Chains A and B, each alone.
Chain A
């Protein structure tokens, strides 16, 4: 017992130290100060407050499970102890920063930061505030932990929603549906303040979300207890698909220009990721130069349609097959010599390929044809009959159609003979060859299919922007696409959709965080690899031997977990 208790104290100390370090880091990279006046709730809670307090709360909450056997008094003692340690560490930062001039190295250790951390109170009293803040966070963690799961979930969702809506105040007010009159005045007048939510709006939103989750949480259990017949399940699945489809179609007019722009770039990335998913996820070929095919698609579209270059002046639809053909050809031409290599070697060679394509586009040598640094403007936009598809909202539908098509092809291929051959090569290339699979041919097919999808994405990019520049096709695009697949779940098609929304959608919407984008990216990747290496929505294996009905039940069981995950 004594041992257990001392282990718990150690854990508590540890948690305090780690969360303290995290809070200090977040403060020192400038997030607290730059978001100090980005209010979630006007003049009450800022994003900066949330950002440095949330890690403390989350870590302490996570540590509780190591001493969940203890009495609540002991748990409270451990948690408040952790919190106090974290507060103490922040105090040390403030004292140190106030006494010495450390801004030479740590630019953000400014008096403003310290004032924000101490909620505006000056030093002797402020130190007390800091420790009190940590202790209260510890107590809050225990409070949440000891709540009924249903209440806990509801309250946590409430907090998350308030923070999210508060942060997104500016973007939400840009959306089209908000412009409708009574709603607009209500939102601007009562719910949203100059920055973030009003206090009234915040409390109202919190209560609504808590109530909704509390009652829905109760209902879900009843549904889960009912055994449903396969037909019913199929029906409910169909309705869900239907609702999702209609929602997707309604998004651009409802959300307006700003969100459509984000959706378009998310869509283009998803399109590319679906293609790379075939290469990396299905066939296991690490391709780091995938951006090359994207560039080839975009540039082919540009060269063949732009009157500026004056070669062909084709329409979008005439140039599209050519762009796709060129991408596939590039895939085959690169693939033939390269696909005899494996693993790391393949990765390095393809990385080189991607860079070569970009440098060619940039070069003076090809400037008469590819435009060099100035790129190519006035790319044709698609036209269907008399309707020109030229706004971001309209391009969205074209991208959506592309994604639908590509996802369909991916799903079909996955469960085909070709898909099995890819999977076998991914698992063990030698053995696959000994099973009668021609590895070079199969890999070439994967490469070409991937290149095709990237080319499609590139063509649509050209049509969306009406211009292409070499700097749109840097190595980081390949890395982004690869990260989407890894975060979503290798080889999983819904995983790619989720991965794309999370990795491209969130940064697109949360423009405030642009500066810290790569920090979050890196942190997310590390966290994923540690806690969920299989991805957000990992691929599930098809059942071939058991009956289909059982398969459906199994899939059904997974959906609640997925819904709460996104």
Chain B
């Protein structure tokens, strides 16, 4: 049922507790979001899931198996893939090559095969390139394949990063602010794309997002973090009216004003 379970995970950096016994459950084939103010620990959570950080306490389960403390490449091979808040493509490699690197876990030729170029290797390479081109088309990136990824337009870079993450055929895809820096129409397209990933490819999506329109528009379940701890979880409509969440975003006392929408009370001045 739950493809990803995060159980009471704690991550400390020296004296700072970036995550405090965080719990999160991502259901199979769902689109879920993690939100929270800056510094709430959202990206730290992603880094713990993908193996960049090892949490001090707690357990992370992927389809029932623990992946806590496994190295990033192992975690990826088990079916977790991610994008980054600030785009991190392989800048001096072409778009196709970026995707091919993403396919790494599924290619089996080694050093010797690469040197000898036997039939098996050649076939595998050819199939990989075709697969990469298909993926580029799926991400509406056709024609960009041979450009160095650093030369792509911004929106295309974002899409390529998602495409590269898809290339490893993940069970769950972690998107770190996929619409950051996008204009409204690009944002709209990205939302459609995320839905297609789930509906057409059957990939579970967990995203960190700041644009409330996106969060509320596509998530089926929202988890809210603040100062590294869970403060709320629920459907978009519930989160929108949750007092604790609004306080976390806007400061103490703001909740009354927003939730009850009585402009005359001016709660901001009450403190």
Contacts and interface: CB of A to CB of B under 8 A. Distances in A.
B100 interface: yes
A393 B102 CA distance: 48
Contacts of B107: 417
B52 interface: yes
Interface in A414-444: 416-421, 423-424, 427-428, 430-439
B114 A546 contact: no
Interface residues of A, number: 30
Interface in B59-84: 71-73, 76-77, 81-82, 84
A419 to B, nearest CB: 7
Interface stretch (A149-157, A167-175, A537-545): A537-545
A412 B115 contact: yes
Contacts of B164: 435
B103 to A, nearest CB: 9
Given A416-B113, A436-B105, A436-B168, A544 B72 contact: no
A435 B101 contact: yes
Interface string A533-566: 0000000010111100000000000000000000
From A428, A433, A434, A437, name the one whose CB has the most chain B CB atoms within 10 angstroms: A434
Contact of A423 (B73, B90, B168): B90
B212 interface: no
B104 interface: yes
A423 B93 contact: yes
Nearest to B105: A436
Given A544-B146, A545-B146, A438 B71 contact: yes
Interface size class of B (residues with CB under 8 A): 35 or more
Contact of A433 (B71, B114, B146, B168): B71
A434 B82 contact: yes
Nearest to A438: B73
A211 interface: no
A439 B81 CA distance: 17
Given A432-B101, A543-B146, A424 B93 contact: yes
A445 interface: yes
A116 B7 CA distance: 85
With most chain B CB atoms within 10 A of its CB, the pick from A433, A435, A437, A541 is A435
B249 to A, nearest CB: 30
A417 B104 contact: yes
B114 A435 contact: no
B50 interface: yes
Give the secondary structure class of A's interface. helix
Contact of A434 (B76, B113, B114): B76
The winner among B51, B71, B104 for most chain A CB atoms within 10 A is: B104
A416 B109 contact: yes
A439 B76 CA distance: 13
A437 B73 contact: yes
B145 interface: yes
A424 B145 CA distance: 17
A418 to B, nearest CB: 5
A420 B146 contact: no
A544 B131 CA distance: 12
30 contacts: A409-B115, A413-B115, A416-B109, A416-B121, A417-B110, A421-B104, A423-B90, A424-B93, A424-B101, A427-B91, A427-B92, A427-B93, A428-B88, A431-B84, A434-B50, A434-B51, A434-B73, A434-B81, A434-B82, A435-B76, A435-B101, A435-B102, A435-B164, A435-B168, A436-B76, A439-B73, A449-B111, A541-B148, A544-B96, A545-B143
Interface of A: 409, 412-413, 416-421, 423-424, 427-428, 430-439, 445, 449, 541, 543-546
